[in-house]
Structure 1
């Protein structure tokens, strides 16, 4: 793996972890609280109306997917290049700051290092203190204005709200929605909304979302796998402040001596009415879903996985050989990486991914 590829790994930490969480999603049950009763539809309406634009807080993520602990040091391990897979094992704590749609900061607090993601308008910084490396990602100039495109911030941060909305957007007739006991999360009273898949194919048993009784903001999410007693994945605020964070938190200057990589996001294609998008635009427009509801499989075309990512030694340890490629299987998620570069992922057993790949 080249040094340039190593530097990209910290930049991939949060986006890839979020993609995995979207396919999936620490809620520590606080003391029971008393709240006025509400129906599931009323709680869903609260979430839809939430208007929290700024916050700061601490989130805790806990994963029990059946994956081995990922080493971050040792022979063959790139310095400071702990992969997204590492964030899906064990417990991790992070500080999150958000101010509106285009300013956000995430500080992942490891035992011996800190990783930062700072997004401010058209600029983003990814920093890893373990090897004092930084990647500066800038958005291209927008053809529609004299400025630059803004990078997504709030929706790409791994907050309970972002993960919860991904699950809620998928509610259909294949989902039973119910209301559980109210509880306290990060010192705030919350309603508990539970989603139970009616599908027999998915690996998911249930998804529970704790919703702030005052603002409708999702405060925590807990995902349980079938035939597993403890939650397989959980993410929740342990501290939360809804005031506007200090503006200086969204400015970043690399420390002295840091190795810096400059990258520019490719420009978005400009839509026109003169002609439909060409095949290349469609190929790079994102994963193509097959199936419906909890049985959905995401198909990523060849070339869509960042160079060097699959050769990351941490990830290679978890991928097992299968016919035509390699696979990662967990209690909630399966990923199939084919030899031709295509990637399939879903909250379904591996054989369903293999069937989807064979049909394309």
Structure 2
């Protein structure tokens, strides 16, 4: 999977945003945390200059997307594909806790703590392990060099920095960028960078708040609030954080005795220009709109049967003329009867219009 699959919208150059006047003046620091004032541009530069890539900590994800809480339902469907689909839906709902260990760009371990179980993703160079203690199954993938760092990560909880990067890539003149009151996350002082869509009619997103470590520029928390709401619909934050380099043995994994071990291989997909840097132009879908009202369309057959046939999918979606809609406070997904997929942080009517060719 290339990075283009993961981007919400195409990246925008921050300097162009500054030139367009999208950056507002800084607000005064709050009373509880009093940092030297910074402009939005200075906070963006603080993030851009951050070189901290070794850490460990506890991340908590809180979702209040208006979906039923599927986290207690366990896997559904009885097949491996059904289990993966159930896991994907389950991660969208409820609260989740994960331990995260990072050492540079090629070593990462994420331990998602489920009820009475644990799911691990271990990346160590070109070796990737996926461990599910509930199923007692370990999957090993040898990742081709060009896909290093871009491997699809089922069950992977991203760090606040990874999520913040996606939102910052989408900043354009339709976004107002401000600095709110200073804050504290995981015992560290932080600037609160706020991204707000200028138009409230075209998107479900009200604002995105990114807490930026005042010393390192590392994003510590991301809060996404829906239009018309005051409490975040999605929150991802460090509750504990160490900036020390994790021990090397954290990234080593050996399946326990008795575990089922599966081997998978990712095929190589060089780009049209012959490069294999993981950023090739092979996205099969189409993108319409721009900024916050972007809609991504994937062709017929993109929705896997193990997802659409999962009981949890039926529980989380509602039928419409075109097919089924997974509707949340921040993101809507339309899956048509012929398997096309339309995704966007836009009203359902916008997706239906796109499906009809409008």
Interval containing the TM-score (normalised by the shorter chain):
0.7 to 0.9
- Match of 1:93? 97
Q: Report the CA distance between 1:303 and its aligned residue.
A: 3.8
Once residues 266 and 223 of structure 1 are traced to their aligned partners in structure 2, the CA distance between those partners, rounded to angstroms, is: 36
- Match of 2:61? 61
Which secondary structure does the structure 2 equivalent of 1:268 belong to? coil
Task: Provide the aligned C-alpha RMSD in A.
Answer: 2.8
Deviations 1:289-330 (A, max 9, x none): 210110001112234445523322222321221112111011
| C-alpha distance 74-203 of structure 1, shift in aligned 2 (>3 A) | closer
Deviation above 6 Å: which 4+ runs of structure 1? 153-156
- Match of 1:278? none
Residue 288 of structure 1, aligned match among 277, 286, 289: 286
Superposed counterparts of 1:46-195, under 5 Å? 46-70=46-70, 71-73=72-74, 76=77, 82-140=86-144, 150-152=148-150, 158-195=158-195
Asked if 1 retains the 8 angstrom alpha-carbon contact of 2:112 and 2:118, the reply is yes
Once residues 108 and 270 of structure 1 are traced to their aligned partners in structure 2, the CA distance between those partners, rounded to angstroms, is: 33
Asked if 2 retains the 8 angstrom alpha-carbon contact of 1:77 and 1:313, the reply is no
Once residues 301 and 74 of structure 1 are traced to their aligned partners in structure 2, the CA distance between those partners, rounded to angstroms, is: 28
Once residues 42 and 174 of structure 1 are traced to their aligned partners in structure 2, the CA distance between those partners, rounded to angstroms, is: 20
Once residues 90 and 154 of structure 1 are traced to their aligned partners in structure 2, the CA distance between those partners, rounded to angstroms, is: 22
Q: Report the CA distance between 1:213 and its aligned residue.
A: 0.2
- Match of 1:216? 217
- Match of 1:322? 320
Asked if 2 retains the 8 angstrom alpha-carbon contact of 1:83 and 1:314, the reply is no
- Match of 2:345? 347
Asked if 2 retains the 8 angstrom alpha-carbon contact of 1:223 and 1:232, the reply is yes
| C-alpha distance 100-31 of structure 1, shift in aligned 2 (>3 A) | farther
| C-alpha distance 172-151 of structure 1, shift in aligned 2 (>3 A) | closer
Once residues 113 and 183 of structure 1 are traced to their aligned partners in structure 2, the CA distance between those partners, rounded to angstroms, is: 34
Asked if 2 retains the 8 angstrom alpha-carbon contact of 1:32 and 1:181, the reply is no
Asked if 2 retains the 8 angstrom alpha-carbon contact of 1:31 and 1:184, the reply is no
| C-alpha distance 135-303 of structure 1, shift in aligned 2 (>3 A) | farther
- Match of 1:229? 230
Deviations 1:66-85 (A, max 9, x none): 10011434875668654222
Once residues 347 and 41 of structure 1 are traced to their aligned partners in structure 2, the CA distance between those partners, rounded to angstroms, is: 26
In the superposition, the TM-score normalised over structure 2's length comes to 0.83
Structure 2: stretches of 5+ with no match in the other structure:
10-29, 275-279
- Match of 1:357? 355
Once residues 123 and 237 of structure 2 are traced to their aligned partners in structure 1, the CA distance between those partners, rounded to angstroms, is: 21
In the superposition, the TM-score normalised over structure 1's length comes to 0.82
Determine if the alignment matches structure 1 residue 261 to structure 2 residue 259.
no
Q: Report the CA distance between 1:189 and its aligned residue.
A: 0.4
Once residues 94 and 33 of structure 1 are traced to their aligned partners in structure 2, the CA distance between those partners, rounded to angstroms, is: 27
Once residues 270 and 76 of structure 1 are traced to their aligned partners in structure 2, the CA distance between those partners, rounded to angstroms, is: 36
Once residues 38 and 76 of structure 2 are traced to their aligned partners in structure 1, the CA distance between those partners, rounded to angstroms, is: 55
Asked if 1 retains the 8 angstrom alpha-carbon contact of 2:34 and 2:182, the reply is yes
Once residues 126 and 335 of structure 1 are traced to their aligned partners in structure 2, the CA distance between those partners, rounded to angstroms, is: 27
- Match of 1:4? none
Asked if 1 retains the 8 angstrom alpha-carbon contact of 2:105 and 2:149, the reply is no
Which secondary structure does the structure 2 equivalent of 1:263 belong to? strand
| C-alpha distance 114-255 of structure 1, shift in aligned 2 (>3 A) | same
Deviations 1:239-286 (A, max 9, x none): 11111111111111112211222211121124348xxxxxxx97x525
